[in-house]
Amino acid sequence: DIQMTQSPPSLSASVGDRVTITCRASQGIDTYLNWYQQKPGKAPKVLIYAASRLQSGVPSRFSGSGSGTDFTLTITSLQSEDFATYYCQQSYSRPPAFGQGTKVEIK
Amino acid sequence: EVQLVESGGGLVKPGGSLRLSCAASGFTFTSYSLNWVRQAPGRGPEWVSHISSSSTYIYYADSVEGRFTISRDNAQNSVYLQMNSLRAEDTAVYYCTRSSTYMSSYYGRFDYWGQGALVTVSS
């Protein structure tokens, strides 16, 4: 099975900051990588798919990059509604595993 | 508007059974694969099971293989998860999700999620 490792587990940031979250796959997954945002008590919501494609309706301040084993999610100017937990997920092979999450908190 | 609505969650004793249902609307049900994804308290999501659009392909996570059974009724726009021999570690919120494929990814991305059904396994 492919393991997904995110870093950092949590971070504190201010509104307007640029935030970068990293995800590493235990083996190469090409660009079969998705990013989700989850707020407390809610289901995850897909932000980015295929490593860099923006899901319809998602603000352009979210972007993704990477291929192979190393990926990043960037939020260019953090907004108040962006404080949440972010997960990466590989869709290269079964099981389609998620990372353990990165919690973005208010500084 | 795409909607996925789960039902059937609750409290069950270890070794017991439960059946989750997911009613879908707002899209052509027969064109999409569906999944169950669960999330234990304080943990990340965990994929549980997948069923293809015509039920030809069915897959399970190792942790539930042999205990859980996924099925769908395309006439009723519904998907089900029969859970038997439940264990404490099965306690989680269970989400019904839709797969939207891209490139040659079989699972694609989970682009729509239900609100979740809480399953608690405890004596």
Band (pLDDT 50/70/90 cuts) for residue B103 is: confident
What does the pLDDT read at residue B1? 96
What does the pLDDT read at residue A56? 96
What does the pLDDT read at residue B102? 85
Band (pLDDT 50/70/90 cuts) for residue A43 is: very high
Are A43 and B95 a contacting pair at CB < 8 A? Answer: yes
Q: Which residues contact A56 (CB under 8 A, 6 or more apart)?
A: none
Return the residue matching tokens 């490593």. A51
> What is the count of residue pairs from A and B with beta carbons less than 8 Å apart?
60
Are A91 and B113 a contacting pair at CB < 8 A? Answer: no
Q: Mean pLDDT score of chain A, rounded to an integer?
A: 97
Q: Which residues of B touch A49 (CB under 8 A)?
A: 100, 102, 108-109, 111
- Rounded Cα–Cα distance for residues A54 and A34 (Å): 10
Among the partner residues A49, A91, A101, nearest to B44 by beta-carbon distance: A101
Are B45 and A87 a contacting pair at CB < 8 A? Answer: yes
Which of B26-35, B67-76, B100-109 comes out lowest in average pLDDT?
B100-109
**Rg for chain B (alpha carbons), in Å?**
14
Task: Tell whether omega for the bond before A40 is within 30 degrees of 0, i.e. cis.
Answer: no
- 3-state SS of chain B is CCEEEEECCEEECCCCCEEEEEEEECCCHHHCCEEEEEECCCCCCEEEEEECCCCCCEEECCCCCCCEEEEEECCCCEEEEEECCCCHHHCEEEEEEEEEEECCEEEEEEEEECCCEEEEECC
Are B116 and A91 a contacting pair at CB < 8 A? Answer: no
Q: Residue A14 half-sphere exposure, CB side, CA atoms within 13 Å?
A: 1
Q: Which residues contact A17 (CB under 8 A, 6 or more apart)?
A: A77, A78, A107
Band (pLDDT 50/70/90 cuts) for residue B106 is: confident
How close is the nearest chain B Cα to the Cα of A8, in Å? 14
What does the pLDDT read at residue B107? 87
Contact A6, A87 (CB under 8 A): yes
